[in-house]
Structures are given as C-alpha cells and as structure tokens.
A = this chain, B = another copy of it.
Amino acid sequence: MNQVFVDALVSIAGTDGILRDGDVQGRSAGMLRPDTLQANLLVRPKTTAQVAAILKLCNDTRQPVVTQGGLTGLVHGADAAPDELILSLERMNAIEEVDPLQRVAVVQAGVTLQALQDAVEKQDLSFPLDLGARGSATLGGNAATNAGGNRVIRYGMMRDMVLGVEAVLADGSVVSSLNRMIKNNAGYDLKQLFIGSEGTLGVITRLVLRLRERPRSQNVAFVAIDGFDRLTAFLKHMDGALGGSLSAFEAMWREFYQLVTTAPAKSSPPLPQGHAYYVLVESLGADQALDGARLEAALEAALQQGLIADAAIARSERERAAIWALRDDVMQTARHGMPFVFDVSLPIAAMEAYVAEVRAALATRWPQHHCWVFGHLGDGNLHLAIRPAEARGDTHAEVEAMVYTPLANIGGSISAEHGVGLEKKPYLHLSRNATEVALMRALKRSFDPNNILNPGKII
C-alpha cells in the first residue's frame, strides 16, 4: 500500500486509528489459533462516517478490505492476506440504547455479545443469543455470520434477533435501516442481505436487536437414552410437554460424554457412562418450582414410555452449572492434540446412518482415530471433533471429504452455524446447487462490483 493511500486513511481515521506492520502482526489471528495476523495495515474507525469514507477510498483504489470483529470465527472467514486492509470495528463498541418498553437495544457493531447480555440483564431483560465465545465475539460478527449457539431451538438464530441494521456498502454509501419493530413489511427486508453474508456484501456498523423479558426460572435435567429412535421421540415428547419453555436440547454421543466426565476432565458423571446417548434438557420459564415440577413430570412420563433409560434433575444453581459445564467442556477434545472440528446440519432421520458412515470411513483409514459427536439436536445441528491417529496437515482435507461428502445425498449442510469463510468454500457445492451459487455470485457482483469486500470468501 502506497503512502498516498496510508495518508488518506490517516486523514479519515486519525493517527491512532491506524496500526501498521508489527503492531498488526503482533496480534493473534483468532481464538484457538497459533498464528498471528498477516496484514500490514489495520484501520479502526470510530464512526459510521469513517467506515463510509474508508470504503469509498478502498473502492476507488480497488483496495481489498477484510472486516474483523472478535476473531472467534472457526472457518477463516476473517483471514486477511498481507496486501489486504483490515477494518476492525473494535472502537465502535458503544451500547447506544437499551429500551425496556420497546424491548430493543441499539448497539455499535463492535460491542461484545457478553457486554450486551450483561447490560440488558440489569434492566430485567435478556438477549438470548448465547455461545461459548461470548466474551470476545462481537454483535456485528454475530450478525455477519448469523451466529447460532445453545438456545436456537427456543429463540432462533441471530437473524431472528436483528430488527434493524446500518451497513456501509462497498462504494461507501450508508444504508440506514434501523427498524425497531417486530413487524415491518414496507418493501424488501434489506437487512437480510447483510446477515450471514460474512462481510462480503457490506459492513454492518450498527444494529437494532430484539430483547426478551428475562426468564425467571431455569431448570436443567440430564438424561441417558439407549437408541437413536428414542432420542428423536424424546425430543418431540419434551417439546410438546414443556409448553414453549424448552430452551436447550443438547445431545452427546457416548464417546463425548465419556471424554468430558473422565479425568483429567473436571466434571463427574451425573449418570453412569456407557449409554448410547445423553441429552441436556433445559427449560427457561417463569416460576422455578412450577416449571421444575413440569420438567419432572415430563421426564417421568418419558421414563414410563421407555423413551429414556435414566435421568438426573439439577436441584441447585450449582448442579445446573455443573451439567452445562460438562456440555461446554469441548476443549477436552484437544487432549490428544487439536482435533478437526466440524459443524454440519442434516435431517434428523438421516443422522444415525450419517454418523455411522463417517465413523466407518475414519476407521478404515485410521483405526486409532477419535471421533466425538455432540450438538444441538433440536436444530438438526451436529458438531464432530475428529482426531486421526496422525494429524498431519494433509489429513485435514481427507477428513473434510469424509464428513462433508455424505451430506450431499441427504440434503445436509456443510455449515449449520459456523459459516463458510475460506475453509468450507471448496465444499459449498455439496450443499448448494449451481443455480443457488450463480445467484449468490450475481448478488455479490451487484453489491460489490470491484470485489473489495472480504474477497474470495464463501464463493
């Protein structure tokens, strides 16, 4: 990047708005990553007007731009090459407004998920998106990637919580569409274009987010199940029996449960190991005792119907946290070295055979592999953490093929909630047909004719 360009950037964002060379390259490339940023230049605007001026400059000079939030993505969606400009929204981190009557928050894109969760809780409200990276992940990033997480079964994905966006287009024009209402059918719903498009169609700068009343009860149970048919029947049973309060249905395959409840993991097993499946069931409701009784009655009925083999109900905040902790102790899968982690979705009816097919392929190739399966069953979303016996670089593509290829025939998706980025781009054709990809390309060309926004990602 030449000095004229850098001078222009400084005139927009100020000297302290620019980081160069070592100051950029000393920063981590992201959560769980050993490498550091490669770009030579990072700009961190403070206002939407600065973002607009930066994008206009980049568009005029054909300078590629990679927008970065909390760098918690898992698909290399925010990777920046040395010659790409990093646009970091770290200084646009104000919660501008929390309105308890309208039940909306207006935030800048760089606010972390946890900062918003904490702020609204003080007003007896809840922002129900939740995921492990909450402390670093930004709301702008959550929107750009349409984040999912643990409570999608009840509240939907980030897309369902965004009422309005302000975004800057590639040419620097600002689309301010900061709607605050649940219903607004005045023309095309433009915000949908920026949600989940991973920064390739525009840069989200501000958001209006839907809030909920804070749940007044949390009840958690843990169950063991001995067959996949029973697992899916149990999901339907609980969804019906809890009357709208079911907020998580987190399934674990046997090996995952054994891993996270065996030392050196810190969790002790709430139920004996060795069953085929385990599920964390949560209800968020209005009355601790009433909702607890309802959960218990539903579990008793499930036991009587033979759907579940065993159940433990958390009786205290400590016990609830302990059950969530074993579900969240995903880092145990790194015990033998970092595994390859996958995020797929598929029809529930195809899941059992799909997991068996992946396991069989792994076993043929690497008799000593590890394969831990867990996920948000109610959403059709599985995570697989796979560690071949020898995890050299070139095994990743082999494992990817084993995990992704079978999805094509069963209508599954190579990305449930992690996005595509660079990592899944070679496999996009397994989940999207040629017409869909052509339409994506047409949208990209229409919104970003010079291909400056996160170029090369997704498609």
| A contact set with B: CB distance below 8 Å | 99-103, 124, 145-146, 148, 152-154, 156-157, 159-160, 169, 173-190, 192-193, 195-197, 201, 212-217, 232, 236, 239-245, 247, 284-287, 290-291, 294, 298, 345-349, 376, 378-381, 411-420, 424, 428, 431-433, 435-437, 439-440, 442-443, 446, 458-459
Contact = CB atoms under 8 A, between A and B. Distances in A.
A440 B429 CA distance: 28
Given A184-B413, A195-B189, A174 B435 contact: yes
Given A159-B189, A181-B345, 16 more contacts: A145-B185, A169-B439, A175-B439, A177-B436, A180-B347, A183-B417, A184-B415, A184-B431, A187-B459, A188-B439, A189-B195, A212-B239, A216-B243, A240-B286, A243-B245, A244-B284
Contacts of A156: 156, 160
A140 to B, nearest CB: 16
Contacts of A431: 184, 186-187
Given A175-B435, A348-B101, A189 B196 contact: yes
Nearest to A174: B435
A243 B291 contact: yes
A175 B213 contact: no
Contact of A244 (B157, B245, B417): B245
A183 B459 contact: no
23 contacts: A101-B232, A124-B240, A148-B183, A176-B436, A177-B432, A181-B347, A182-B380, A185-B419, A185-B420, A186-B413, A186-B415, A186-B428, A186-B432, A188-B193, A188-B201, A189-B192, A189-B195, A212-B239, A242-B286, A243-B286, A244-B284, A244-B285, A286-B298
A197 B243 CA distance: 33
Interface of chain A: mostly helix, strand, loop or mixed = loop
A413 to B, nearest CB: 4
A440 B196 CA distance: 19
Top 4 A-B pairs, shortest CB-CB distance: A243-B286, A243-B285, A192-B192, A244-B244
Contacts of A148: 183, 185
Contacts of A179: 411, 413
Contacts of A245: 243-245
A376 B189 CA distance: 20
B240 A185 contact: no
B185 A413 contact: yes
Contacts of A152: 182-183
Contacts of A428: 186-187
A325 B181 CA distance: 27
Given A213-B239, A290-B290, A436 B187 contact: yes
A407 to B, nearest CB: 10
